[in-house]
Amino acid sequence: MSTATAAIEGDGIESGRSQPQINVGVLGATGTVGQRFITLLSNHPWFVLHRLGASPRSAGKKYREAVNWKQANAIPSSVREMIVYECKPEHFSECAIVFSGLDADAAGDIETAFRAADLCVFSNAKNYRRDPNVPLIVPFVNPSHLSIIPQQQSLLSPPLSKGFIVTNANCSTTGIVIPLAALERAFGPLELVLVTTMQAISGAGYPGISSLDILDNVVPHISGEEEKIEWETLKILGGVSESDTGVKSFDMHARHPLRVSASCNRVPVIDGHTECLSVRFARRPPPSPQQVREALAAFTPDAKALGCPSAPRHTITVHEEPDRPQPRLDRSYQDGAGVNVGRVRQCPVLDIKFVVLSNNVSIGAATSSIINAELAVLKGVVPT
If asked whether residues 13 and 78 sit together in one domain, one would say yes
Domain extent, residue 78, equals: 3-170+366-378
Residue 243 sits at φ, ψ, to 5 deg, of -80, 175
The one-digit pLDDT tens for each residue of the chain (384 residues) are: 333 333 333 333 344 456 779 999 999 999 999 999 999 999 999 999 999 999 999 999 999 999 999 999 999 999 999 999 999 999 999 999 999 999 999 999 999 999 999 999 999 999 999 999 999 999 999 999 999 999 999 999 999 999 999 999 999 999 999 999 999 999 999 999 999 999 999 999 989 999 999 999 999 999 999 999 999 999 999 999 999 999 999 999 998 999 999 999 999 999 999 999 999 999 999 999 999 999 999 999 999 899 999 999 999 999 999 999 999 999 999 999 999 999 999 999 999 999 999 999 999 999 999 999 999 999 999 987
Catalytic residues: 171, 273
User: What is the rounded radius of gyration, in angstroms, for the C-alpha atoms of the chain?
Assistant: 20
Q: Is residue 383 part of a domain?
A: no
Is 326 within 8 Å of 209 (Cβ atoms)? no
Tell me: do 56 and 94 sit in the same domain.
yes
Cα(190)–Cα(197) distance, rounded to whole angstroms? 19
Q: Are residues 175 and 295 in the same domain?
A: yes
By three-state DSSP, how is residue 157 classified? Answer: coil
269 φ/ψ angles, rounded to the nearest 5 degrees: -120, 140
pLDDT of 264-295, one tens digit each? 999 999 999 999 999 999 999 999 999 999 99
| 141 three-class SS | coil
Phi and psi dihedrals of 202, rounded to 5?
Answer: -65, -20
- Same structural domain, 163 and 179: no
Task: Specify the DSSP element, H or E, that contains 185.
Answer: helix 171-187
Is 20 contained in some domain?
yes
Q: What kind and span of H or E run contains 60? A: none
The answer to whether the predicted template modeling score (pTM) of the entire model surpasses 0.85 is: yes
User: Alpha carbon 65 to chain centroid distance?
Assistant: 29
